[in-house]
Amino acid sequence: MKLVVATRNQKKLMELQELLADMPVTLLSIAEFPDAPDVEETGSTFAANAELKAVSAAAATGLVALGDDSGLEVDALDGQPGVMSKRFAGPDATDRDKYRLILHLLSEIPDEERTARFRAAVAVALPDGTVTVVEGKCEGVIAREPSGSGGFGYDPVFFIPSLGKTMAELTSDEKHAVSHRGEALRKAASALRSVLSNFPL
């Protein structure tokens, strides 16, 4: 069975492939469909953006589609960068640019006030517009310096006290067990299995 994922981010696609490895699906990136439109992330929440992407991908390809949106919320920054996580440091910013900006903004913030969380929303959409959206989160704090070479985005500065590591220092299995995206996908799994069993591909 084929499932199109509404992302062109290869690292994210690889992570999703690992998370859905036990399901009888072949994941296709939306990049494999050149006529599929780019979706503007105009939603005010992660759930809204995930739904926008999944519905558009399903309509464009005629396949069941999975869309997700995720980001970092920092309490000392009033929840920023939030839905602007990808664009917080500018449209052409690298991952390093993004987390370095967060470290700069928090440079005078004491350790006890550096609480943050990753949030993720996952939407599963059918070509007829039917959509299911679920969410997950992972609590942590913003480290003083980046550490670790795994993951992407803000992972090197997102420290998980219960594990004593940043998200970028976790193995794939450790990350999937605690991550916001892992939690959201586990919630979506039963809905996805039901959809795929009733949708011939």
Instruction: Tell me what pLDDT residue 114 has.
Output: 98
Given 69, 78, 111, 128, the catalytic residue: 69
pLDDT value at 138 more than 90 = yes
Instruction: Tell me what pLDDT residue 43 has.
Output: 92
Instruction: Tell me what pLDDT residue 14 has.
Output: 84
Instruction: Tell me what pLDDT residue 196 has.
Output: 66
Instruction: Tell me what pLDDT residue 49 has.
Output: 96
**Mean pLDDT within 101-122:** 97
**Mean pLDDT within 18-23:** 81
- Total domains, the chain: 1
69 tagged catalytic: yes
Instruction: Tell me what pLDDT residue 199 has.
Output: 60
pLDDT value at 165 more than 60 = yes
Quote the CA–CA distance of 27 and 37 in Å, as a whole number: 18
Angle between helices 10-19 and 180-197 (to 10 degrees): 70
pLDDT value at 50 more than 90 = yes
- More confidently predicted of 50 and 193: 50
Instruction: Tell me what pLDDT residue 181 has.
Output: 87
Q: CATH code at 167?
A: 3.90.950.10
Quote the CA–CA distance of 1 and 14 in Å, as a whole number: 18
pLDDT value at 137 more than 80 = yes
Instruction: Tell me what pLDDT residue 200 has.
Output: 54
Mean per-residue pLDDT of the chain: 91
Enclosing domain of residue 94 = 2-197
pLDDT tens-place string over residues 170-180:
998 899 899 99
pLDDT band at 16 (very low <50, low <70, confident <90, very high): confident
pLDDT tens-place string over residues 112-128:
999 999 999 999 999 99
